[in-house]
């Protein structure tokens, strides 16, 4: 309703890219279906095209794209969901060490949500090594973020937008189950680093582990999980292409079947939690009364 004209769309406080998208959608139709379809198309195309580039077992990766909450995130966080999807599409350029293409896509993501800029340092931080010294450095980084969270968030608020000051506001906390899942997943992916032969695995693992710094800092600091914790999306999405690499190392072994069943149980359970208890995304509710004749 606020995008009847180009000038009206650009007057909104949201980022330029999203304002432009709303104007284009409104130019096509005043139905919300067009806007929602365009958002979904951008996000899904970015993820699926990148998945196909990075792994041959793309069916597993697409399942994880849905099951671990990356697909459902943009149902509510549209702008940040688009930004994270564009940054995910930039990952192949990071792996290929093509700086210009990588930073161009990160900048494009920032036109939808400025938090995409947090992905820029990953080009230099995503090392091809992941030893115990790296883990200790990340643990130290978590402590530093917790201690100086107000400083970091204050800087972001002054440089980008004052709305980011809310990221450091003390509250009741939340998101503990999310963080536990992310940490446990990170531990398992780290344990498999010596078994996986794919040359991209360690850099992807480093991206994931860096994201745990923000996730842990959010929980330890008891801040609103809708702020700092949401940033994990720029990092944890690498798990959807790392797991197919892991399973690829256990072909034709009984262990693979056991792992697959356990993994399926955990991810489906997590999906049910994220769509019901965490975000109320399930539009149906089963009850005894639904089976009555009336």
Give one DSSP letter per residue of 191-237, joined into a string: HTTTT---TTHHHHHHHHHHHHHHHHHHHHHTB-TTTTGGGGHHHHT
pLDDT of residue 171: 56
pLDDT of residue 156: 65
- Residue pair 279/232 in contact (Cβ under 8 Å)? The answer is no
Residue 80 confidence (pLDDT) above 60:
yes
Residue 117 confidence (pLDDT) above 90:
yes
Length in residues, the chain? 294
Q: What is the model's pTM? A: 0.88
What is the pLDDT confidence band of residue 168, given thresholds at 50, 70 and 90?
A: low
What is the pLDDT confidence band of residue 77, given thresholds at 50, 70 and 90?
A: confident
What is the C-alpha to C-alpha distance for residues 22 and 32, in angstroms, rounded to an integer? Answer: 10
DSSP letters along 54-78, please? H-S-HHHHHHHHHHTSHHHHTTT-H
- Residue pair 161/214 in contact (Cβ under 8 Å)? The answer is no
What is the C-alpha to C-alpha distance for residues 112 and 176, in angstroms, rounded to an integer? Answer: 28
User: What is the percent of the chain with per-residue pLDDT over 70, rounded to a whole number?
Assistant: 85
- Residue pair 243/61 in contact (Cβ under 8 Å)? The answer is yes
Residue 85 confidence (pLDDT) above 60:
yes
Rounded to whole angstroms, what are the CA distances from 73 to 129, 226, 240, 259, 292? Answer: 30, 11, 15, 26, 35
What is the pLDDT confidence band of residue 159, given thresholds at 50, 70 and 90?
A: low
Residue 137 confidence (pLDDT) above 70:
yes
Least confident of 35-49, 193-207, 243-257: 243-257
What is the pLDDT confidence band of residue 291, given thresholds at 50, 70 and 90?
A: very low
Residue 170 confidence (pLDDT) above 60:
no
What is the pLDDT confidence band of residue 294, given thresholds at 50, 70 and 90?
A: very low
What is the pLDDT confidence band of residue 221, given thresholds at 50, 70 and 90?
A: confident
User: What is the percent of the chain with per-residue pLDDT over 90, rounded to a whole number?
Assistant: 45
Instruction: Identify the burial level of 234 via C-beta atoms within 10 angstroms of its C-beta, where 0-12 means exposed, 13-18 middle and 19 or more buried.
Output: buried
């Amino acid at each position: 309703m606020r995008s009847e004209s180009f000038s009206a769309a650009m007057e909104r406080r949201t980022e330029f890219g999203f304002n432009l998208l709303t104007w284009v959608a409104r130019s096509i139709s005043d139905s919300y279906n067009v806007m929602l379809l365009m958002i979904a198309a951008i996000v899904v195309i970015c993820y699926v095209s990148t998945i196909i580039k990075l792994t041959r077992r793309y069916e597993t990766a697409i399942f994880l794209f849905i099951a671990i909450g990356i697909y459902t995130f943009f149902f509510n966080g549209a702008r940040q969901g688009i930004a994270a999807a564009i940054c995910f599409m930039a990952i192949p350029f990071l792996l290929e060490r093509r700086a210009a293409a990588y930073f161009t896509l990160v900048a494009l993501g920032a036109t939808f949500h400025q938090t995409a800029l947090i992905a820029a340092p990953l080009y230099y931080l995503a090392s091809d090594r992941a030893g115990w010294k790296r883990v200790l450095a990340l643990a130290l980084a978590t402590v530093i973020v917790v201690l100086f969270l107000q400083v970091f968030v204050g800087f972001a608020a002054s440089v980008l937008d004052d709305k980011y000051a809310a990221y450091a506001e003390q509250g009741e906390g939340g998101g503990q189950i999310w963080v536990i899942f992310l940490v446990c997943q990170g531990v398992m992916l780290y344990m498999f680093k010596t078994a996986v032969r794919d040359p991209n695995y360690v850099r992807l693992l480093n991206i994931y582990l860096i994201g745990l710094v923000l996730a842990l800092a959010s929980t330890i600091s008891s801040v609103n999980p809708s702020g700092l914790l949401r940033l994990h999306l720029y990092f944890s999405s690498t798990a959807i292409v790392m797991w197919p690499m892991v399973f690829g190392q256990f072909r034709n072994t009984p262990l693979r079947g056991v792992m697959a069943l356990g993994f399926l149980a955990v991810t489906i359970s997590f999906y049910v939690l994220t769509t019901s208890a965490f975000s109320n995304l399930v539009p149906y509710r089963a009850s005894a009364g639904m089976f009555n004749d009336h």
